[in-house]
Chains A and B, each alone.
Chain A
């Protein structure tokens, strides 16, 4: 009886409705806990299982290929949960204070009291600046896929996919299936690095086989694929018209296109964990700061993390970490867990994360390219701050040796994206210019709201409250 009483009173808030968030909500619902699920999206799925907009006859089988069963299982699971969770789409969770989560939907603000908070915030593309990366027609790799999945739209007719990511091959295959011409795939990692990472990659042989299959199929269709390239510039007048690169022997090439999708793996959305008091630790393989949690996603203070926002592992790992985080919540509130084989889930997560670490070596973040960035390349696309301005600031007498100081002086990272797309580059530039380790320069600290919110938001009780100004980005 005690178990039922506790179940009735624990309030769990979940941020994110991708594979991790929905898996967590499913486990909780099976134990009688109706979680409140906050989703910025219009429909559940996160980025990976993004649903086509209503009324669009998108052929899911063509688009998702081997991922179709996962896609369908996800959405079937969500539909089955519909009456047993408090699902709030198009809602931004913008801050955490103690045991309260602040949200805004349209112009309506709300505060959710929770006993436990599961943050399944996902990730964005990790990008580095390349000359011309702000030209119309240059998009992130993940974004190019999202546009296709949600709207059935292509970023252009003739596309270059470039950077370093296993998704280059998947995205190119999807775009080709939907009618785009693939001008080229320019992979910045040498093929040898992929062979070197093979041991870790074999931790998930099916995923590896699928990836190699995509590469082989594209080659068979005579899509030009170059490994070990250096991207020199995206060029064009009013929009991108060509990509200039050097091949692995150093020879320069130019490829014409009207769209570019680029990315270097993913960057976890760690802003809300940070605001919730979770420690971030430096990860030398990913060269990023990730939330510090135990094997089940427990961070202390009744905060839990799951999915790619916690530790990069991909969609399948995300779902399993979501289950483990929900089990950890149940444990901590003394609710007996049934129906989840945790030993197996933990083994599965370990295996998939090892695979992802292999991927991080097979598709590297070319940090040395940042060292060679021309001074006139824009690093912060919000505020228009160049690599040269940052270097000048770092090299000045008593110049900044830490990124938050660099931000205060140069405004790099102070814009509307809050450093999501320039923060890693600013840190690499600082470390390289000073000749000190990357972890020594720190990381940009998060300020609430984690994304711009309207100037005046209405509280759920109808009184008018001034919130943060959307235009005055937090310092």
Chain B
């Protein structure tokens, strides 16, 4: 699947590797989780109260429609959180959690 977001400026910093639902994705130091995931995927997450995929909306920390789970069971707002090497992002709730939690 091609990404949704396009990097218009060639990233110069060192690449970092993150996992998105277990699959490896290359991102760049300083990028947001939102950019890293959407450069490789169509969407960020599933809506809590439906089957819709969501890919964020306001891109400035106001709409809260880009929250994703991390494998350590924490949740982050993808548009304002910076990627780190080895970060493991889940587009759905981790096992044992309900996505409405």
Contacts and interface: CB of A to CB of B under 8 A. Distances in A.
Q: Which of B4, B12, B13, B67 has the most CB of A within 10 A?
A: B4
B8 A152 contact: yes
A56 B9 contact: yes
Interface string A128-160: 000000101111101110111011111111000
Q: Which of A59, A124, A180 has the most chain B CB within a 10 Å cutoff? A: A124
A381 B65 contact: yes
B8 A384 contact: no
Interface in B61-75: 61-65, 67, 75
Given A239-B43, A421-B58, A258 B30 contact: no
A152 B55 CA distance: 18
Interface in A368-388: 381-384
Given A147-B35, A259-B4, A239 B60 contact: no
A258 B7 contact: no
A292 to B, nearest CB: 23
Residue among B10, B43, B55, B59 with the highest chain A CB neighbour number at 10 A? B59
Contacts of B59: 139-140, 142-144, 146-147
A166 interface: no
B8 to A, nearest CB: 4
A193 interface: no
A148 B9 CA distance: 9
Contacts of B60: 47, 124, 140, 142-143, 146
Contact of B67 (A42, A47, A269, A416): A416
A269 B61 CA distance: 12
A134 B47 contact: yes
A471 B58 CA distance: 19
Given A54-B30, A56-B11, A136-B4, A384 B61 contact: no
Nearest to A138: B57
* Most chain B CB neighbours (cut-off 10 Å) among A58, A140, A157, A259: A140
Contacts of A206: none
B84 interface: no
Contact of A153 (B35, B44, B50): B35
Most buried by A among B32, B56, B62, B101: B62
B17 interface: no
Interface string A363-405: 0000000000000000001111000000000000000000000
A381 B62 CA distance: 13
B40 interface: no
A416 B35 CA distance: 21
Interface string A84-95: 000000100000
A420 B43 contact: no
B64 A451 contact: yes
A417 B8 contact: no
Contacts of A382: 64-65
B48 to A, nearest CB: 8
A142 B62 CA distance: 12
B5 A417 contact: no
Nearest to B41: A136
A40 B9 CA distance: 25
Interface in A272-288: none
Contacts of A157: 6
Contact of A383 (B49, B55, B56): B49
A238 B42 contact: yes
A452 interface: yes
A137 B55 contact: yes
A335 interface: no
Nearest to B10: A57
Contacts of A470: 75
B61 A420 contact: no
Given A136-B53, A137-B4, A239-B43, A53 B30 contact: yes
A125 B9 contact: no
Contact of B7 (A47, A90, A142, A153): A153
A105 B99 CA distance: 25
Most chain A beta-carbon neighbours within 10 Å: one of B8, B13, B35: B8
B65 A417 contact: yes
Contacts of A155: 4-5
Contacts of B5: 147, 153-156
Contact of A57 (B12, B31, B42, B47): B12
22 contacts: A42-B82, A55-B13, A55-B28, A57-B12, A58-B9, A90-B80, A136-B53, A136-B54, A139-B56, A140-B58, A146-B59, A147-B35, A151-B32, A153-B5, A153-B8, A154-B5, A155-B4, A179-B8, A239-B53, A382-B64, A416-B64, A420-B62
Interface of A: 40, 42, 47, 53-59, 90, 124-125, 134, 136-140, 142-144, 146-148, 150-157, 178-180, 238-239, 258-259, 269, 381-384, 415-417, 420-421, 451-452, 470-471
Given A53-B30, A125-B58, A136-B42, 13 more contacts: A47-B60, A56-B13, A124-B58, A140-B58, A146-B59, A146-B60, A153-B8, A239-B4, A381-B57, A382-B64, A384-B50, A451-B62, A470-B75
